[in-house]
């Protein structure tokens, strides 16, 4: 079995290359092909945001989604709020959020991949959104002042960061008192110590770019949120993935091929899409 990818710079380079190539091809996914796949029919986006919402966007806007949920539905944005999207990709949720917060609100999109930012800025121009801005940067070091935003959203991105504790601490820093976090992410449900292989072997067999190798367990996510200072922490499973789902994440690699059959079977239903909410105390 190959060695796990543990160097933070190498992890970020892998993620940047994968998603840079994916947005340029207007394809690629952060989800199985039967539930969260990007394609010319916008099937993923329609499933996540609704056909009526997608139909309101110009036909030449790149709506390719790499998410595992709908963080806007979790956030329930209000007019006038200032919002930050961690890992904003092609900008779809930023554009939709800008509509929801209205002219008196503002939305920041943060991404580290040049191709994503270029696509997002083109999309913003095509849609005519003026109350948003896309920033280049690392979600572990958010380029905004303290207590800047009312709401932080993110869709299947925090699991890609090498240091998730630092991401959540910096998210807490930029939230205003009383501000809230509303995230959709890939999360393991249950203790990975109970699997027939070690956690290191499991993560080596999985993929950082496809959202598995760096995924936290529910208990780890809760602990890191509370250590960062968040309260009112909630984690709700929105979808469970079967082993067949996991194997379909990439046409180029069989993600579980390096694991014994009994270990792959033990993962059935343990990998989830999760709605995660938390609040910075007022």
pTM for the structure as a whole: 0.86
Per-residue three-class SS string for 224-274: HHHHHCCEEEEEEEEEEECHHHHHCCCCCCCCCCCCCHHHHHHCCCCEEEE
Q: Any residues with CB less than 8 A from the CB of 60 and at least 6 apart, and which? A: 126
Other C-beta atoms within 10 Å of 263: how many?
A: 17
Q: Tokens 């991404």 — which residue?
A: 111
Per-residue pLDDT of the chain (282 residues; tens, 9 = 90+): 444 566 778 778 877 877 778 777 754 334 433 333 333 345 678 888 888 888 888 877 877 777 889 999 999 999 999 999 999 999 999 999 999 999 999 999 999 999 999 999 999 999 999 999 999 999 999 999 999 999 999 999 999 898 999 999 999 999 999 999 999 999 999 888 878 887 777 777 776 556 677 889 999 999 999 999 999 999 999 999 888 777 766 543 455 666 777 877 888 888 899 999 999 999
What is the DSSP code (8-state) at residue 188? E
Q: Which CATH superfamily is domain 8-279 in?
A: Vaccinia Virus protein VP39 (3.40.50.150)
Helix axes 92-101, 114-127, angle to 10 degrees: 40
Per-residue pLDDT tens over the stretch 170-220: 999 999 999 999 999 999 998 888 788 877 777 777 765 566 778 899 999
């Amino acid at each position: 079995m190959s060695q796990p990818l543990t160097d933070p710079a190498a992890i970020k380079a892998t993620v940047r290359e994968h998603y840079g190539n994916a947005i340029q091809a207007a394809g690629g996914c952060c989800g199985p092909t039967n539930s969260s796949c990007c394609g010319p029919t916008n099937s993923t986006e329609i499933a996540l945001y609704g056909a009526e919402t997608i139909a309101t966007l110009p036909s030449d806007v790149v709506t390719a989604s790499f998410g595992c949920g709908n963080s806007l539905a979790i956030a329930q944005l209000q007019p006038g709020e200032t919002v930050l999207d961690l890992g904003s990709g092609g900008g779809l949720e930023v554009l939709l959020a800008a509509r929801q917060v209205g002219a008196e609100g503002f939305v920041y999109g943060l991404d580290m991949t040049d191709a994503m930012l270029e696509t997002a800025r083109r999309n913003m121009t095509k849609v005519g959104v003026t109350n948003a801005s896309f920033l280049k940067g690392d979600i572990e070091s958010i380029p905004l002042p303290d207590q800047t935003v009312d709401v932080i959203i993110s869709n299947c991105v925090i699991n890609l960061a090498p240091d998730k504790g630092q991401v959540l601490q910096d998210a807490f820093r930029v939230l205003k008192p009383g501000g809230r976090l509303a995230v959709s992410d890939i999360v393991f449900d249950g203790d990975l110590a109970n699997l027939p292989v070690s956690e290191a072997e499991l993560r080596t067999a999985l993929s950082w770019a496809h959202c598995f190798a760096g995924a936290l367990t529910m208990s780890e996510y809760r602990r890191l949120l509370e250590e960062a200072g968040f309260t009112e922490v909630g984690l709700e499973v929105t979808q469970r993935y079967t082993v067949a789902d996991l194997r379909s994440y990439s046409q180029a690699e069989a993600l579980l091929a390096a694991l014994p059959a009994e270990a792959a079977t033990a993962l059935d239903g343990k990998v989830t899409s999760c709605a995660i909410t938390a609040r910075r105390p007022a």
